[in-house]
Amino acid sequence: MVNIVILCTVSVDGRLNVNVALNRPSYESSSYYDPYTGITFYARYANDGNHNPHLTLGPCAHTELDTNPWWAVDLGVALYVAGVKFTNRDDSCTYFISSLIIQLTYFNEFISQHTITSIT
């Protein structure tokens, strides 16, 4: 399926409600460059601690139009994950994230998968 991923904030909560994804290395299938604003929307913008949900003021992570686009964060070590929070953009085009598949892996070994089909 051809689509895009736009994430304004991603928080991975470990023990003690600490965002263990904050400023960790993150990656996406591609990074969108907007010629009108001159901004390249890198993966790191989703977990940089900026909680502004406006695409260009955040800015947010944004892929190009890809087949099966993805965004990933490397937590660096095996950690207990209590929850994952996503903030969609709120300025327009909020429909771009209509469902997500969250996969947890450890050194490329599949641990679990969770599908989210309703995002507000």
Which of the residues in the chain have pLDDT under 70? 1-2, 92-99, 117-120
pLDDT score at 107: 77
Residue ranges of domains in the chain: 2-116
pLDDT score at 9: 81
CATH architecture for residues 2-116: Sandwich (2.60)
Distance CA 38, CA 41 (A): 10
Query: How buried is 106 (Cβ within 10 angstroms: 0-12 exposed, 13-18 middle, 19+ buried)?
Result: exposed
Taking a C-beta distance cutoff of 8 angstroms, is the pair 71, 82 a contact? Answer: no
Percent of the chain exceeding pLDDT 90 equals: 32
